[in-house]
């Protein structure tokens, strides 16, 4: 978004201490949840003209910057701030989040993502192109505020994909996410290692990258716990199938209160 605006900007990567656990409501407009280095970085410069923030941990910092600027700084938050959009000039959120309707809220059907359009890493591409086609990609998420992955369904889909590759040729690509439970990762790894088909098991921040896997895939299966992952898959223009998820306790509570916590756009 910052690049699309065409204006000069700087990226400030924040790190946090234990006070982050209080959450945006209790922290208010405060820098107390920042690490010492991040706090010094913020205080050493005047407030910016505009902040574009993501992640609920950044919310207290943005509010503190607005106070320091005496209301001059404008703020855009992307995602679920966990407080009212009234505290920002604009909140951009997908329908998976129970953000109450507000004049400052813009709901969008897909997440803002560049993964599918950023292009594969040439080194990854050379390796992945050696795998026989068709290549089926399985993108695995994990528990979040509102959803839990249906592990039985997921492992069943993985077994089916392996059987299809064994019977008709092709290969299986799987990538996990930072939220994927370690035991589920182990189950996936065990199933792939026991399979007699070509496969790749990828992890976050390791090669091959998600962008490379998306480019190499002929069909994509993605767990429906994250609209960001779903958006990455949809933007490729390739066949996409969603794998079931189950509501968490908080997700069931949100549903009882009439909130929309996830919308699938096909």
Give the chain as a 3 state SS string: CHHHHCCCCCCCCCCECHHHHHHHHHHCCCCCCECHHHHHHHHCCCCCCEEEEECHHHHHHHHHHHHHCCCCCEEEEECCCCCCHHHCCEEEEECCCCCCCCCCEEEECCCCCCHHHCCCCHHHHHHHCCCCCCEEEEECCCCCCCEEECHHHHHHHHHHHHHHHHHHCCEEEEECCCCCCHHHHHHHHHHHHHCCCCEEEECCCCCCCHHHHHHHCCEEEEECCCHHHHHHHHCCCCCEEEECEEECHHHHHHHHCCCCCCCCCC
Is residue 17 pLDDT above 50, yes or no? yes
Question: Percent of the chain scored above 70 by pLDDT?
Answer: 94
pLDDT score, position 259: 43
Is residue 133 pLDDT above 60, yes or no? yes
CATH fold, domain 116-256, is Rossmann fold (3.40.50)
pLDDT score, position 263: 35
Pick the closest to residue 110 from 96, 91, 98, 120 (CA basis). 96
pLDDT score, position 113: 80
List phi, psi (to 5°) of 250.
-70, -35
* Per-residue pLDDT reduced to its tens digit, 82-101: 999 999 999 999 887 888 89
pLDDT score, position 264: 36
* Per-residue pLDDT reduced to its tens digit, 230-246: 999 998 999 999 998 88
Which of 140 and 258 is assigned the larger pLDDT? 140
- The pTM of this model reads 0.75
Residues 6+ apart with CB under 8 A from 246: 147, 148, 149, 150
pLDDT score, position 80: 92
pLDDT score, position 197: 96
pLDDT score, position 262: 39
Bridge partners of 173, per DSSP, are: 137, 200
pLDDT bracket for residue 110 (50, 70, 90): confident
pLDDT score, position 260: 40
pLDDT score, position 256: 55
Q: Alpha-carbon distance 142 to 243, whole Å?
A: 12
Question: Where are the chain's structural domains?
Answer: 2-108, 116-256
* Per-residue pLDDT reduced to its tens digit, 191-221: 999 999 999 999 988 889 999 999 999 999 9
> Which CA distances in Å does 261 have to 85, 110, 224, 242?
17, 14, 12, 16
The arithmetic mean of pLDDT across residues 1-24, rounded, is 91
pLDDT score, position 254: 64
pLDDT score, position 145: 78
């Amino acid at each position: 978004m910052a690049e699309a605006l065409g204006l000069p900007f700087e990226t400030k990567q924040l790190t946090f201490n234990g006070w982050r656990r209080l959450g945006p409501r209790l922290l208010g407009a405060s820098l107390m949840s920042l690490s010492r280095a991040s706090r010094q970085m913020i205080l050493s410069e005047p407030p910016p003209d505009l902040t574009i923030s993501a992640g609920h941990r950044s919310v207290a910092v943005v509010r503190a910057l607005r106070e320091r600027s005496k209301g001059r700084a404008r703020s855009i938050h992307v995602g679920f701030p966990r407080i009212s959009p009234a505290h920002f000039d604009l909140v951009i959120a997908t329908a998976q989040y129970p953000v109450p309707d507000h004049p400052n809220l813009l709901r969008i059907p897909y997440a803002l993502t560049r993964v599918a359009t950023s292009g594969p890493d040439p080194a990854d591409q050379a390796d992945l192109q050696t795998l026989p086609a068709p290549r089926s990609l399985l993108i695995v998420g994990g528990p979040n505020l509102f959803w839990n992955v249906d592990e039985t369904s997921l492992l069943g889909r993985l077994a089916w994909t392996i059987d299809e590759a064994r019977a008709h040729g092709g290969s299986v690509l799987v990538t996990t996410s930072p939220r994927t439970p370690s035991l589920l990762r182990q189950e996936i790894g065990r199933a792939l290692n026991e399979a007699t088909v070509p496969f790749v098991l990828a992890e976050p921040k390791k090669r091959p990258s998600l962008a490379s896997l998306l480019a190499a895939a002929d069909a994509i299966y993605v767990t429906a716990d994250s609209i960001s992952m779903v958006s990455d898959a949809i933007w490729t223009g390739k066949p996409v199938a969603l794998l079931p998820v189950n509501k968490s306790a908080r997700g069931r509570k949100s549903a009882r209160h009439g909130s929309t916590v996830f919308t699938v756009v096909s």
